[in-house]
Structure 1
């Protein structure tokens, strides 16, 4: 069984794709974004996967790849087209190569035109293809910089993408309207740049007159991506909290385990965000916990100090997760959620006040 997730970077409208073999738990990540490495790492960890490769479909001009950061964090290998001109990859891909993960693989298809090093990736069973910035949903990549070639793009789309079954689902590297997926049959019929009876000259005339501004990040992104995203500093790593061994979840919440909190409860502010009847109810409460119900937290945040970290608590960890968001919005940086809440705390036999057996 295939594990598949489609992720997005809202800033650049970039899609990142995670694919894994459910039997072996081996995974690949297509077009990772530097700023989203922490998020993607959390998902990979939560799903119990081992990242083998990051694969960039081309040298991006609108964001910096997360390939180097993933390699630094998990030991994954960096893969990119041999024609890309990028330095520092572990594997350079050519047309027809296979990127294997467990019993599955992605086949490399050379699809130049947006850049001379663009590739698309076809899943082994013909059901999915990842088209990078070559073929978009009812559109195509631009061809006016980075050795772009409208003629080459038209031919690559017809020979390498439209040669797939009509039912093959196509996943692009970008979409700026919130669209997520299309198919070969749809694009062959309805793509306004090359669908229906449009010929190569029609396509070339269309894309060479798009008159688009250059991407805002091009002067930063292209040099960095030609080095596979290598950075002199690591802002995501530098931002890791140091006051406790926290875990970052895919939901974007920092969490702390019960054992650490029990051992260090006097060094933090414990804020219980349940209602008063729960705080005084049979589950009990953590010693030194302060009751500020979630609905009142924003208005009463000023009662807390920024001199000590805050751990939020509720029945099962849901309301207290939202409490961390509220507190961060109020300017508190050292905040974490108690994983599992009072249910887990009691299940592990940890100390409580006012609780029933």
Structure 2
């Protein structure tokens, strides 16, 4: 029996997949995200599993892989395409290779085009395939950077993915509209980029005119992923125990809004926005201490170093900088509110002092 979980990272819209053999309790993770290592490790522990391999479908440009960090914490091994050019993997995969986990295995199919090192992992009984960015739900990966080649991607999809059984479930690395999976039959019929009778010239012409901006994290993600997610320092930070925190690749510990709402009285919440923002449309958290970022260093001595500090701003950028300032001042228990007040409000957590400019209230 197969144990299967699909997990999602909201920041990069990335799916991570856990597959385990129920008898031996060993598992693999496909496309782990650096910031979600704590979550993934918790799932593995709670299910009583042993992580054998992390498998990346390609060298990602929109997030940093959690492969290296999981290796440090759980002793797993790292595998990805030999053609991807990354350093530090334990195994470099080629078309036709097999990755075993207990009595189950994944078959490796090379599906280049989005990048030259893209792989699709097919479950041993051909019931599921993990397509990375090669084929998305009613879409496909772009081909305008990282050795992308639209003609190559066309043939990868037609020959390596659409050749699977009609009812084979396809699980992509991303989705931006809330869809979770599809099938070979559906994509052959309904995919607007490559389904139906669309030709190679139709496909390449479509991709040549997408006009999309490059991923926001490309300058950070690609170099990091060419090291399998290993930070330049080469050191895995110690895990804080005062809250279930996640670590960004930039070294910032973050806490989720839900946890902060439930534990607001156990921490010091420091809002580093300007005064007019605090009473603007986003409002503020009731227990927050208001200290603009420019004055944080001089005001830091007013906070207790024994009680954890959570910093807050509009979207999480300034408050991430605030955690660095506080750490330099000797604060050890510091975290950033992930996504700032934008994410706090999106989750409908309670606020005070908001001002509706449209309504004039």
Cα gap change, 1:25/1:247 in structure 2, threshold over 3 Å: closer, same or farther?
Answer: farther
What is the Cα deviation at residue 238 of structure 1?
3.8
User: Gapped runs of 5+ residues in structure 1?
Assistant: 255-269, 272-297, 311-332, 335-357
Question: Residue in 2 aligned with 1:17?
Answer: 17
**Paired positions, count:** 267
| Residue 196 (structure 1) shift | 0.6
Once the two structures are superposed, what CA deviation does each residue of 1:233-276 show, in whole Å capped at 9, x if it has no partner? 589844513x7xx8889xx899xxxxxxxxxxxxxxx99xxxxx
Per-residue deviation, 1:138: 0.1
Corresponding residue for residue 115 of structure 1:
115
**Farther off after superposition, 78-87 or 224-233:** 224-233
1:154 aligns with 2:154: yes
Q: Distance in 1 between matches of 2:11 and 2:62?
A: 10
Aligned 8 A contact 1:38 1:236 in 2 = no
Alignment of 1:293-312 (within 5 A): none
Q: Is the 8 A contact 1:142 1:207 kept in 2?
A: yes
Contact 1:42 1:248 in 2 (8 A): no
**Aligned positions of 1:6-85 closer than 5 A:** 6-85=6-85
- 1:83 is paired with a residue of what secondary structure? helix
Q: In structure 2, the residue corresponding to 1:5 is in which secondary structure?
A: strand
Partner SS, residue 40 of structure 1? helix
In 2, distance between residues paired with 1:211 and 1:247? 39
Instruction: Measure the CA separation in 1 of the matches of 2:287 and 2:150.
Output: 59
Give distance in 1, aligned partners of 2:191 and 2:197: 11
Structure 2 equivalent of residue 275 of structure 1: none
SS of 2:18's equivalent in the other structure is strand
Offset at residue 232 of structure 1 (A):
3.5
Q: Determine helix, strand or coil for the equivalent of 2:45.
A: helix
**Paired residue secondary structure (1:113):** coil
The answer to whether the 8 Å contact 1:35/1:236 transfers is no
Unaligned stretches of 5+ residues in structure 2: 247-255, 260-264, 267-284, 290-302, 309-332, 335-361
Per-residue deviation at 1:301?
A: 11
- In structure 1, the residue matched to 2:216 is 216
- Which residue of structure 2 lines up, in the alignment, with residue 190 of structure 1? 190
Deviation at 1:178, TM superposition (A): 1.2
* CA deviation profile, 1:208-227 (whole Å, cap 9, x unmatched): 11111000000010001001
Give the conservation status (yes or no) of the 8 Å contact 2:121–2:129: yes
Please, what is the CA RMSD of the aligned residues? 2.8
- Compute the TM-score of the two structures, normalised by the length of structure 1: 0.69
State whether residues 69 and 236 of structure 2, in contact with CA within 8 Å, keep that contact through their aligned partners in structure 1.
no
Between 230-239 and 19-28, the greater mean CA deviation after superposition: 230-239
Moved over 4 A (4+): 233-236, 246-249, 298-302, 305-310
Aligned mates of 2:83, 2:305 — CA distance in 1: 53
Residues 173 and 307 (structure 1), Cα distance of their counterparts in 2 relative to 1, 3 Å cut = same
State the structure with more CA Rg: 1
**Match in the other structure for 1:316:** none
On the 8 A contact 1:33/1:64 being kept in 2, the answer is: yes
